[in-house]
Amino acid sequence: MSDNVLLIERDGRVAILTINRPEKLNAMSSSVRAAIVRTFKELETDDGIGAVVLTGAGDRAFCAGLDITEVGGDERLGDVYHVVDRFSKPVVAAINGLCLTGGLELILSCDLSIASTSARFADTHVRVGLVPGSSGLALKLPYLIGLQRAKEMQLTGNYVSAERAFQIGLVNHVVEPALLMKTALGLAHDMADGNYAAMMAYKQSIDDGFQVSLGEGLKVVTERASDFYGSVTSEDLKRAKAATIQRGRTQISN
């Protein structure tokens, strides 16, 4: 990026995207949002990338939300959340500090979230007199952590520690700061380095099923699985099963 607001690195089949405005607590300016949208669209068609790790520069913040000096001048604030939401490959958020409002909306668009012990979370919409819209925060957070726990965060604007975020199911893991990227990258590689076609089909089934009722969702995943199995040979399954058994033995022994 010419303005370096979003740094892009590659670690094998994993792309590492870093919001690079540490002096502004990685708040999402219009240029940051445009860079995220553009980059995710490019990575969508890049067969060399199987997963993404999204993080923020420095150790003070993952993302402190939207740059409020620009709010009102951009009518397409939701595009950044939608492009992450609809991305066909797994996205892991590595949360290295403050994760506030728009930052919280961003991690809810990711597939997994790993937090540093220094991470802090808050939804401050009501504090600043705003109501979330197209990001889906109003519904996604209750779905993830439960209605009453979500309402406590959403209607008070109070901060939540990394430990509490883990307890209520907002994040998958909490690790020491020095282990944050190692953990996030490890999980990203676990997903990116497996059966690529199966991983993408499974993720799409989960995401599509999430959008409808349970009954409709069961129809979606059943049809998707049927289509996928029709393209897999018995020899493919035998080879994959042997490799999976060996991988399991290795993980159990460690």
**4-29 pLDDT, tens digit each:** 999 999 999 999 999 999 999 999 99
- Evaluate whether residue 1 is within a structural domain: no
pLDDT at 224: 60
Per-residue model confidence (pLDDT) at position 2: 41
User: Residue 82 sits in which domain range?
Assistant: 6-192
Most confident of the following: 2-11, 77-86, 100-109, 126-135: 100-109
Residues 134 and 170 reside in one and the same domain: yes
Q: Could you tell me the pLDDT band of residue 201, with boundaries at 50, 70 and 90?
A: confident
**Considering the domain boundaries, does residue 234 fall inside one?**
yes
d(CA 160, CA 151): 13
Is residue 68 very low, low, confident or very high in pLDDT (cuts 50, 70, 90)?
Answer: confident
Residues 174 and 238 in one domain: no
Residues 152 and 222 in one domain: no
- CA atoms of 61 and 58, how far apart (whole Å): 7
Highest mean pLDDT among 94-98, 191-195, 222-226: 94-98
Residues 236, 56: Cα–Cα separation, whole Å: 39
- Do residues 152 and 183 both lie within one domain? yes
User: For residue 1, what pLDDT is reported?
Assistant: 39
What distances in angstroms separate CA 91 from CA 86, 106, 131, one per listed residue? 10, 11, 26
Residue 84 phi/psi, 5-degree rounding, is -75, -45
Using the predicted structure, report yes or no on whether residue 166 has a pLDDT greater than 90: yes
Question: Same domain, yes or no, for 10 and 34?
Answer: yes
> What is the number of structural domains in the chain?
2
Residue 76 lies inside a defined structural domain of this protein: yes
The separation between the first and the last C-alpha atoms of the chain, rounded to the nearest angstrom, is 41
| Residues across the chain | 254
pLDDT in tens, 118-162: 999 999 999 888 888 878 899 999 999 999 999 999 999 999 999
Regarding whether 238 and 163 lie in a shared domain, the answer is: no
**Do 40 and 119 reside in the same domain of the chain?**
yes
Which neighbouring-strand residues pair with 16?
A: 9, 53
Residues 57 and 110 in one domain: yes
CATH of the domain at 45: 3.90.226.10
The pLDDT of 213-240, averaged and rounded, is 63
Question: Does residue 30 sit in the same domain as residue 144?
Answer: yes
Q: How distant, in Å, are the alpha carbons of 137, 144, 159 from that of 176?
A: 27, 24, 19
Q: Is the pLDDT of residue 86 over 60?
A: yes
Residues 102 and 212 in one domain: no
Average pLDDT of the chain is 87
Residue 84 has pLDDT above 90, yes or no: yes
Answer yes or no: is 149 within a domain.
Answer: yes
